[in-house]
Structure 1
Amino acid sequence: MPDDSRTSRFDLIVALFMALAAVGTAWAGFESAKWSGVQANSYASAGADRAEASRATTLASQQRAIDVVSFTAWLNALNAEIVADPSVRPNGTYTPDTKMVSGFLFERFRPEFRPAVDAWLATHPLIDPDAPATPFDLPQYRLAADQRAQHLVDRAEKLSATARAANQRSDNYVLTAVVFATVLFFSGMATKANGRRIQLFFTVLAGIALLGCIVTLALFPVEI
């Protein structure tokens, strides 16, 4: 009778180990799939941001080219007017005259470009050789498209980091599922082994592996 009772308790413990291992395996598989989804979504969003950043960079390049061409045309027109009539030479300041070609061009600078031009003219570049060579050297020359491109690149990098972390977490859950499989293996061996010592050996191995998996799962981040 005591042997039957001991056998019954042993079978119950092994069955409990196997049940917990089965549940743990299912949970690990579920979480692995969820984190794989996070990885895929994050990489997709990062790719979309990089594509948008590329378009913003292209736009910024086009706007910069427009600014350079318009600024060069304005300088050429102003120089031509000075050569034609030296009396119009600015004395350190410049006031656009819309009746003149230079004034016409000046009034048509892009709104983003005007603050840099105004800051440049404030340094009296037309008479001061130490003034900045062009407005493009000044911090006032900022393009919203450039800033948007940088913001998108930064966000894409963060999303890629999230995707890499999600991939690692998915792999960790897969590894835990593999260890749960060893719990099932040891539990099965315990039920088939002959001799109490061998059964106890496999049962202890199953218990240690199961406890390690449960603790590990408790420490892993959960994605629902």
Structure 2
Amino acid sequence: MTPAEAHDLIAVVLLSLVAVLTAWCGFQASQWGGDSSVAFSEASAARIEASSFESRARDARGLDLAVYAQWVEAEFNDDQILADYIEARFTPAFAVAFSAWDADGRAENGPFAREEYVPEGTAESAEATSDADAQFERALDFNEKGDNYSLITVLFALVLFLAAIAQRGISVLGSRIVLGVAGVLALGGLILLLTFPMRF
């Protein structure tokens, strides 16, 4: 095999290999991009769910406050029968805080200041918010992985360009230098590519 034929063979092999690697990078970028979109959607859904639970907790807090205001008025008017009637209708979450407040001699400004007061929807809102944050972080991670594959695709596109230039009518020395640079870039890209996580 003549040097010219060996040169052409190396260029063809390099072009073929890098073309396959470019297609693989495109596939991986697409896979990670899809995962990123799903994770972003799940994060958005969790945010909406958290907002719904927070709204429920806010409504429960408003109801408890309104009922408590009636109880305070009954207590102020020494109407124990009415106060007991209202107290029996406290929501479970407020009843726990009220009992703790009453047992401590009513030291705080009211049951709402007690840590025992957790309106319905508060815990669910916090859990949904935490899930949304986790999904958002996953989405960013997936997006970064997809971007890495996209950047490698650009590198391989440069290798294809250089390998194609090496086969055109330039000097033998110039052609070998360009092909050598393309080979080094391809090897570096391949090594870097092997460090990336793969998605099937």
TM-score range, shorter chain: over 0.9
Q: Which runs of 5+ in 2 are unaligned?
A: none
| Post-superposition offset of 1:205 | 0.8
> Residue 119 of structure 1 is aligned with which of 81, 100, 104?
100
What residue number does 1:137 align with? 113
| Post-superposition offset of 1:193 | 3.7
Task: Give the Cα separation in 1 of the matches to 2:120 and 2:199.
Answer: 37
What residue number does 2:34 align with? 37
Q: Which runs of 5+ in 1 are unaligned?
A: 83-87, 89-99, 126-130
> Residue 189 of structure 2 is aligned with which of 195, 199, 213?
213
Task: Give the Cα separation in 1 of the matches to 2:104 and 2:61.
Answer: 22
Task: Give the Cα separation in 2 of the matches to 1:45 and 1:161.
Answer: 11
What TM-score results when the alignment is normalised by the length of structure 2?
0.93
Confirm or deny that 1:108 pairs with 2:89. Answer: yes
After superposition, where does 1:68-107 map in structure 2 within 5 Å?
A: 68-81=65-78, 100-107=81-88
Q: Over aligned residue pairs, what C-alpha RMSD do you find?
A: 1.6
Q: Which portions of structure 1, spanning 4 or more consecutive aligned residues, are displaced by more than 3 angstroms?
A: none
Sequence identity of aligned pairs in percent? 28
After superposition, where does 1:58-77 map in structure 2 within 5 Å?
A: 58-77=55-74
Whichever residue aligns with residue 99 of structure 2, its letter is D
| Post-superposition offset of 1:167 | 2.0
Confirm or deny that 1:23 pairs with 2:20. Answer: yes
Whichever residue aligns with residue 109 of structure 1, its letter is F
27-36 vs 164-173, which moves further: 164-173
Deviations 1:186-212 (A, max 9, x none): 111112244331121011111111011
Q: What is the DSSP-based 3-state SS (H/G/I as helix, E as strand, rest coil) of the residue aligned with 2:78?
A: helix
What residue number does 1:201 align with? 177
Task: Give the Cα separation in 2 of the matches to 1:206 and 1:28.
Answer: 18
What TM-score results when the alignment is normalised by the length of structure 1?
0.84
Task: Give the Cα separation in 1 of the matches to 2:120 and 2:37.
Answer: 30
| Post-superposition offset of 1:14 | 1.3
Confirm or deny that 1:222 pairs with 2:187. Answer: no
Greater Cα radius of gyration, structure 1 or 2:
1
Q: What is the DSSP-based 3-state SS (H/G/I as helix, E as strand, rest coil) of the residue aligned with 1:140?
A: coil
Deviations 1:132-182 (A, max 9, x none): 110111111112411211221222122222222222222221111111111
Preserved contact between residue 60 and residue 120 of structure 2 (Cα < 8 Å): no
